Chains A and B, each alone.
Chain A
Amino acid sequence: MVTLVKDYWPCAYSGLPAVLQSISIVLFTVTLLMLVGNVGDIYVFMMFFTGIVLALMSIGNEVKITNGELLLTYGYPFKLIKVRVKEVVHIADINALERGKLFKYFKVVLVPFIMITAFPLLYVLIKGASVPLQYSMFLAIPIFVGAALIGYFLVSSRSYKAFLQNVLRVLVVLLITINFFLAIEYHRLYSGFITRDLNALIPLMLAEILLYIFFAAMLVNAVKRHVIIVEDSRGRYYAIASASEVKARELIELIVSKVMVSDS
């Protein structure tokens, strides 16, 4: 039996883990909108807590090869979901392919990403000027996160790096512009400088820092990580993330030799 734990993680792109992850992503966005809209604390807490639980349940924990089968385990800290992959007919390092796009294999995952991009935009359209100034930047988080994730699934690995660089450029320009207008708006409303009001400034800065951290993580992910897709004889697709290109190569060789070339 071979156990691989350290450098591989099953991705929640298909099956039950994908459903749980999708619900959690949408819940986090709804929680954020409820926070901005000052909706009752108990509902916000319940939504956020449920989102956390579902997200933890869908986290890829372990990849094992045992008796000619690939065993993907999800859930953290407890291993709750086990997916057995038998009769592998197709394996590929999607990042090593010129035109490899995750969207071709995992279409449903796009649904929550589109939802989290659309929800804050709809919220702003409906609420308009009544969106609290200090929390307005938080609305940009799901929009940019959603856009970055949609791009991750729609374009190839090579194009994604260029796409991410362009998104980062747009983000920098957009945030500077938004900051400028927020400062003007604050001055118009309160006749003072926003830099002297920490209660307004901290939430705005925090949202921007969170956005930059997310994009930095995405950039590292795009450069280093390789995603391996696996298809079984029933036409179901699974994804495994590896720490590097070398690790991806090692896993492909292992799956080919221990799972595909196995008549058990």
Chain B
Amino acid sequence: MILKLPDRMEEILLTASKEGVREVDIAKELGITKQAISKALREGRLRLTEIFVTLAEVLNADIVRVNVRKGFAILRSRQLGRKLYVIYVPKKGPRVIIEGDIDCSTNPIVCKEVISAATMWGLIERPKNTEQPNDVITKVLSKLEE
């Protein structure tokens, strides 16, 4: 299974993730019918759930939380006993952060992708340039735990 959604589907899901946005608004913005948006949203969310379920199986983990509106899931590894934070990064696919194992100096690309995705999904505000990536990641994970 390819753990990546089509670009158009990602665009619709990201637009729908914003607070207070209705399907009619997305239809107007993207220039397609409301019915097509509803169908794409249903399909996109279903495919995103499948991606998280596949990851849970591959990582031998239990599902603690799945939020396809906001593009993330929290799993708990059966072997490690630790939480695995999964965020779907548009145009890339899902990225996993292991609880208590975050160091942006050794994984700058993953950190950058996760921060960017969290901003796109509306989980956090766009971080200021002065903020340290580790602090922003902590903020993201804290948000996922709310």
Partners in one complex: yes
Which residues of A line the B interface, CB within 8 A? 87, 89-93, 96-101, 104, 231, 233, 249, 252-253, 256-257, 260-263
29 A/B residue pairs, CB under 8 Å, sorted by A = A87-B42, A87-B45, A89-B69, A90-B65, A90-B67, A90-B68, A90-B69, A91-B66, A92-B65, A92-B74, A93-B64, A97-B145, A97-B146, A100-B145, A100-B146, A101-B146, A233-B41, A252-B62, A252-B63, A252-B66, A253-B62, A253-B63, A256-B53, A257-B53, A260-B45, A260-B66, A261-B49, A261-B50, A263-B42
- Given A256-B49, A257-B53, A261-B46, A93–B65 Cβ distance below 8 Å? yes
- Asked if residues A98 and B145 are in contact (CB atoms below 8 Å), the reply is yes
- CB-CB < 8 A to A261: which residues of B? 46, 49-50, 53
Please classify how large the interface on chain B is, using the bins under 10, 10 to 19, 20 to 34, 35 or more: 20 to 34
- The smallest C-beta distance from B75 to any residue of chain A, in angstroms, reads 11
Which residues of B line the A interface, CB within 8 A? 41-43, 45-46, 49-50, 52-53, 62-70, 74, 76, 142, 145-146
Label chain B's interface by main secondary structure.
mixed
- CB-CB < 8 A to B146: which residues of A? 97, 99-101, 104
- Asked if residues A97 and B46 are in contact (CB atoms below 8 Å), the reply is no
- Asked if residues B66 and A90 are in contact (CB atoms below 8 Å), the reply is yes
- The smallest C-beta distance from B39 to any residue of chain A, in angstroms, reads 10
Closest B residue to A101 by CB, please name it.
B146
Complex CA distance for A104 and B50, rounded to whole angstroms: 27
Q: Which 6 A-B pairs have the closest CB atoms?
A: A92-B65, A98-B145, A90-B67, A89-B69, A260-B49, A99-B145
